[in-house]
Amino acid sequence: MTVAEPVDPSLDETALSASHGHKPARYWNEVAAPFKGPDTKKSVLQLLTSAGLFLGCWIAMFFSLEVSYLLTLALAVPTAAFVMRLFMIQHDCGHGSYFKSKKARDIVGFWIGVVTLTPYGAWRQSHAYHHSHSGDLDFRGFGDIHTITLREYRAMSKRGRFLYRLYRHPLTLLGIGPAFFFLIKHRYPWDLPRSWKGAWTSVWKTNLCLAAIFAIATYTIGLDTFLLIQVPTTLIACSLGVYLFYVQHQFEDTYWHRHENWDYFDAAVFGSSHFVLPRPLQWVTANIGIHHVHHLNSQIPNYKLEACLRSNEKLQQARRITLADTWKLFRLSLWDEETEQMIGFRDLKRLSA
């Protein structure tokens, strides 16, 4: 697959916008401007608390093995939640919004990537592609939940339709898929362009570090003990991460357009949801549910997203999704270009009638 080079996440996003949008690029840049850039003290404090809580939960899981493995499994939930929170810090490092120093961002991002099983350089570059082309029907298939149009589905063979239905099934999206993606594909991302040499270097370095951790675990606490802790934590964290990413872009009236009619800022504000979470969950997910603001300008660090949201009435009118809404979103599988709506497989009979 030939993949266009992603826009460098450190670049000013004014260059990404077309002139035709519900609001011009200048308007959205003025909205975002006061919130761009890191606050070093807040970044350091967030990193220390997140890493400390993750480490504390992991140690608690270790000692719980002597009590009951059911207790260990219960503790895997908060441990996985803090893995997810660390991923959000890695995410901000990749966007250049977490520390002023690129060296600091790259060091922190790389080592969190070892914890999250996500090669930092490779993820940073592919995720920049996602931001550069989110909602663009002519630039799909890289860094996104795979989504096809109703017309494309109807043109598929029976085998193709079956495989796509299998891919879009919730058990695949939230179970098998995340485990495969983080445990296997991140070890060798075969669709990563060979020209992205820095990204490939990050893959091999991450794999080397993981091999070293396995070796150390084998000769200290024992590989079986390590896996009893790490496997449930990893599986839960992976599924939670994919769940969040899914509901941030897959909803009925999301934004998809062909490239000639695509606009970066419209895609950000109308193609990304505001996932409204209870305060504790909003905190542990580092405000990533305020996703439309993040896509509006990725230079805004996670701890400033809510302030930006509150500063602008237009941003508060974005598509709001609650926890109760999310399950029905997993029945949506196809983009209908005629109605400009996501539809489910159940709607096919109605549309064919």
pTM as predicted = 0.89
Per residue in 243-271, pLDDT (tens digit) is 999 999 999 999 999 999 999 989 998 99
Per residue in 46-98, pLDDT (tens digit) is 999 999 999 999 999 999 999 999 999 999 999 999 999 999 999 999 999 99
The dihedrals phi and psi of 334, each to the nearest 5 degrees, come to: -135, 145
Which residue type is seen at 151? Answer: R
- Cβ distance 146 to 167 under 8 Å? yes
- Cβ distance 110 to 201 under 8 Å? no
Provide the pLDDT for residue 349: 81
Per residue in 300-320, pLDDT (tens digit) is 999 999 999 999 998 988 899
| pLDDT reading at 9 higher than 80 | no
Other CB atoms within a 10 A radius of the CB of residue 209 amount to 16
What is the average per-residue pLDDT within 290-308?
95
Helix, strand, or coil here: 162? helix
Per residue in 88-124, pLDDT (tens digit) is 999 999 999 999 999 999 999 999 999 999 999 999 9
| pLDDT reading at 8 higher than 50 | no
The dihedrals phi and psi of 130, each to the nearest 5 degrees, come to: -55, -45
Other CB atoms within a 10 A radius of the CB of residue 316 amount to 11
Residue 233 gets which letter from DSSP?
A: H
Helix, strand, or coil here: 341? strand
Provide the pLDDT for residue 13: 40
- Cβ distance 9 to 298 under 8 Å? yes
Other CB atoms within a 10 A radius of the CB of residue 221 amount to 14
What is the average per-residue pLDDT within 280-296?
95
Other CB atoms within a 10 A radius of the CB of residue 353 amount to 5
Per residue in 174-190, pLDDT (tens digit) is 999 999 999 999 999 99
Give the span between the Cα atoms of 285 and 289, in whole angstroms. Answer: 8
Question: Among 5-9, 74-78, 233-237, 252-256, where is mean pLDDT lowest?
Answer: 5-9
Helix, strand, or coil here: 332? strand
- Cβ distance 61 to 77 under 8 Å? no
- Cβ distance 119 to 206 under 8 Å? yes
